[in-house]
Structure 1
């Protein structure tokens, strides 16, 4: 009789212990699943940051742009008509310098190609306030907000820098408020109101200034 009672107690204890373990597993499982989900979210965020998907909007725009100094076949080597050209006088200190305002709109690359093929020059580089003011005053006659000048971004990432197409030294700038950091695009345009500079997408079609 005592033996049967002892066996019953042992069996009851085993069943109770088994049920407690099952309950523990049921309680722990959601916590483990939640932890795994959190780890997956963190992993996805890190992957997103590593891939550059969180880049600012202008960097995405830059990545989609074609190389700024390359002309496309469309409108390449088509010289402007004389009525589309405004001749600018030289600036103090460089009376022999010659500049042209071309009313014909082109992308940045095509604009420089026109300067090279039609006038043996380049898009203008600006190294002082006097020249900037001359271009600004002349461009005011246009029904356009901006004109191309020869500044553009070279390099990538932390090695980005502004350069002139003619290879001259970048020793002057006249950026608008918030520029160039808060602007999109790899190329530089001069505003026809105020004469300040802004970054712009190189594929935009604008009038432009040649120097030769």
Structure 2
């Protein structure tokens, strides 16, 4: 009888020990799975950023850069005076189109705001070499090296996108050597010497051209 009792206790101890080892194995396995899952989430996030699939930061950046900045200089939100405006004739493709060169220097966002508020227009889009040359010749007399046109850039690398603020198609470009590249700003300016385009920080203050 005593022998049976001793055997029972030994067997019970062996089973309990086996169960504890199983529990340890399950806990260890669970910890490893959780770690792997966390690593997979981080890997997925990194891959998404690298591939450009998550472009929410572009949208935030775009909204921030296109927004007019608060007035920091007297007259920032005032419509230009006539002496600060140069009227451009219509092009051969659109005789009724009207364009204005505004010689006051504004940020890209404030320039677009003035085009819309004062003239019910937009920063100009450029769709051919002849019109680009017209802008270039008109802006040559400015002291500034560049003028704003209505081009914007979003994204990076292969995910880079170009568009005009008025929604027209991007069917022409006249970039300077080495442009547009992957840096230098997300707004497009036309050089008053040579007429080529360059990327520029949207916060820079430049003269600008409205179409209306």
TM-score (ref. length: structure 2): 0.67
Aligned to 2:29: none
Are the aligned partners of 1:65 and 1:202 in contact in 2 as well (CA < 8 Å)? no
CA-CA distance at 1:78 after TM superposition: 1.4
Q: For residue 188 of structure 1, what is the aligned residue in structure 2? A: 188
- Unmatched segments (≥5 aa) in structure 2: 1-45, 50-59
Structure 1 residues 161 and 64, CA, compared in 2 at 3 Å: closer, same or farther? closer
Structure 1: state its 5+ residue gaps.
1-48, 53-62
Q: 1: distance between equivalents of 2:93 and 2:85? A: 24
Q: Give the equivalent residue in structure 1 for 2:114.
A: 114
Secondary structure at the residue paired with 1:67?
helix
2:163 & 2:61 partners in 1: Cα distance? 20
Q: CA deviation at 1:158?
A: 4.2
> Contact 2:156 / 2:182 at 8 angstroms: preserved in 1?
no
- Name the CA shift for 1:173/1:104 in 2 (closer, same or farther; >3 Å): same
Q: Offset of 1:93 from its aligned partner?
A: 1.6
- Count of aligned positions: 153
Alignment of 1:42-53 (within 5 A): none
- Partners of 1:91 and 1:79 in 2: CA distance: 25
Tell me the C-alpha RMSD between the 2 structures: 2.3
Q: Which residue of 2 aligns with 1:166?
A: 166
How far the C-alpha of 1:68 sits from its partner, in A, is 2.4
- In structure 2, what is the Cα distance between the partners aligned to 1:157 and 1:147? 25
Residue number among 45, 69, 72 corresponding to 2:69 in the alignment: 72
State the secondary structure of the residue aligned to 1:138: helix
Q: Distance in 2 between matches of 1:95 and 1:124?
A: 15
Equivalent runs, 1:1-212 vs 2, <5 Å: 67-74=64-71, 77-155=77-155, 158-181=158-181, 183-212=183-212
TM-score calculated relative to the size of structure 1: 0.67
- Within 2, Cα distance between the matches of 1:155 and 1:182? 9
User: Over alpha carbons, which structure has the higher Rg?
Assistant: 1
Q: CA deviation at 1:67?
A: 2.5
